[in-house]
Homo-oligomer: A and B are copies of this chain.
Amino acid sequence: MTTSLRIGLAGLGTVGIGTYKILAGQADMLRDRCGRPLEVVAVSARDKSKDRGVDLSDVRWADSVHAMARDPDLDVVVEMIGGADGDAYDLVRDALDHGKHVVTANKALIATHGVELARRAEEKSLTLAYEAAVAGGIPIIKSLREGLVANKVSRIIGILNGTSNYILTTMEETKRPFEDVLSEAQALGYAEADPTFDIDGTDAAHKLSILTSIAFGAEVAFDAVRCEGIEQISPLDFQYAAEFGYRIKLLAIAEEGEGGLLQFVHPTFVPAETPMADIDGVYNAVVVEGDAVGRTVYEGRGAGEGPTASAIVADIADVARGQAQPVFLTPVAKLQPYRQGDFDARRGKFYLRLSVKDRPGVIAQISRILADRDVSIESILQKGTEADGAVVVVLMTHQSSEKAIADALAGIEALDDVMQPSCRIRVMEL
């Protein structure tokens, strides 16, 4: 029989145990499919005594990530610890330096240190694989890196964070406010105790920056993502979105802009008749537009034990079958330095929700400010008066630049009769 692929699993949380279960439970199937056995020979985790519901008595315990990285009996190390630095980073760096292939589920790590780690991997012709880092079980990294290899990509649009998508979907269905739905999501285990990165767009930005690097052949630039979260969305916005024919999704977008690349994460009005509008709950989706293939779409569960383990085992299988290749498709030595495009020049339609005092002349003042910035209005809605004497005014603009809208909003918010921070949501066009 051909030699086993000897695997070390670092991190035995839900994903680590899920990965172990597949490797152990489907050993025969995977051996046939990969042409050699996939064998877990070592694991490491903080607490050795914890009952994880699986029998690990035949598996060696590595005392530390350093021990695992140096273990001469391992061909591949799977990092499932998490975090951009610390143990996760040390393990991946040291494992590569000691000639081991690495599979990781860690988007923060790849978004932060991906280029440096890729250089280490490529120097030694080692695999650094991270399918599980983006969009859970959807094979989007493989599709971009291999399936669409013939394409110049012009745009990527993703729903990349299941927690925020779950919250938006639930807010829309139940008409309940953000804080309420977030608490419930935490109770149900769909949001973490500290949900900051899911809610403020950071998690989606990590994932987007990885996809951008592969698609556009540029160095990963997580810091270059312009990021807005979903905290400011109110139940009212879903109501207005529906009236205009839209649903609200947190989109991650990478595209060619003026002078370079643009990366955005922001809540978006998505036309109800497009496939992205139908991605509900914890599902993720990615649209890739390529010059040869046209528009392709990939959907599936964005997180959880099964989907994440599915992606990790796929990466391990690639290692077993000897499929080494450049980490970001373009070899690191040929990746372009990231060139930042002009955010301000980007054009699109905008939805603006304002809360104003119900006095004569307010709408005239707002309209004047918008007109002065060449922002023209497609529709305006004003409905009833609130208990506190405020009136909600909702505007949909025609195509305008980011700069014009930002300037106009600053002017509008400075008006005496405009009562609280306004809400601006970008509108996706067909």
Contacts and interface: CB of A to CB of B under 8 A. Distances in A.
Interface string A130-171: 010000111100110011111110000000000000000000
Nearest to A147: B139
A301 interface: yes
A310 B139 contact: no
Given A292-B22, A310-B293, A331-B32, A146 B142 contact: yes
A30 B151 CA distance: 9
A317 B146 CA distance: 8
Contacts of A275: 275, 278, 299
A317 B330 CA distance: 13
Given A148-B139, A149-B30, A149-B34, A295 B290 contact: no
Contact of A334 (B18, B32, B273, B297): B32
Given A22-B150, A142-B146, A150-B313, A307 B329 contact: no
A224 to B, nearest CB: 23
A320 to B, nearest CB: 10
A152 B313 CA distance: 13
Nearest to A306: B292
Contact of A330 (B33, B136, B322): B33
Interface in A235-268: none
A35 interface: yes
A146 B332 CA distance: 24
A230 to B, nearest CB: 23
Contacts of A311: 147, 293
A22 B151 CA distance: 9
A172 to B, nearest CB: 14
A215 to B, nearest CB: 12
Given A33-B329, A143-B143, A149-B33, A290 B314 contact: no
A275 B301 CA distance: 14
Interface string A309-326: 111011001100111011
A294 interface: yes
A300 interface: yes
A168 B317 CA distance: 40
Contact of A296 (B131, B295, B300): B300
Nearest to A301: B294
Contact of A297 (B298, B317, B322): B298
A138 B296 contact: yes
A297 B294 contact: no
A415 interface: no
A232 interface: no
B317 A149 contact: yes
A147 to B, nearest CB: 3
Interface in A95-152: 131, 136-139, 142-143, 146-152
A273 B275 CA distance: 11
Contacts of A379: none
A291 interface: yes
Given A143-B139, A278-B275, A306 B326 contact: no
A329 B321 CA distance: 12
A318 B146 contact: yes
Interface in A201-243: none
Contacts of A371: none
12 contacts: A137-B290, A139-B146, A139-B148, A142-B146, A151-B310, A275-B278, A278-B278, A297-B298, A297-B299, A297-B300, A298-B299, A322-B323
